[in-house]
Amino acid sequence: MAPDGTVRSDNRLNLVILARFDPAALTDETRARAADGVVAYSAICTHQGCPVNMWSKERDGFVCSCHASIFDPRNAAEVIGGPAPRPLAALGLKLKDGVVTVASAFSGRVGATQG
Q: Assess contact for 43 and 50: CB atoms under 8 A.
A: no
Q: What pLDDT score does 58 carry?
A: 95
* Mean pLDDT across 30-38: 97
Mention the CATH class of domain 12-92. Answer: mainly beta
CA distances, 60 to each of 32, 96, 107 (Å): 21, 29, 22
pLDDT reading at 14 higher than 80: yes
* Percent of the chain with pLDDT strictly greater than 70: 91
Task: Calculate the average pLDDT of the chain.
Answer: 92
Q: What pLDDT score does 114 carry?
A: 63
pLDDT tens sequence across 43-98: 999 999 999 999 999 999 999 999 999 999 999 999 999 999 999 999 999 999 99
Q: Where are the domains of the chain?
A: 12-92
CA neighbours within 13 Å on the CB side: how many for 8?
11
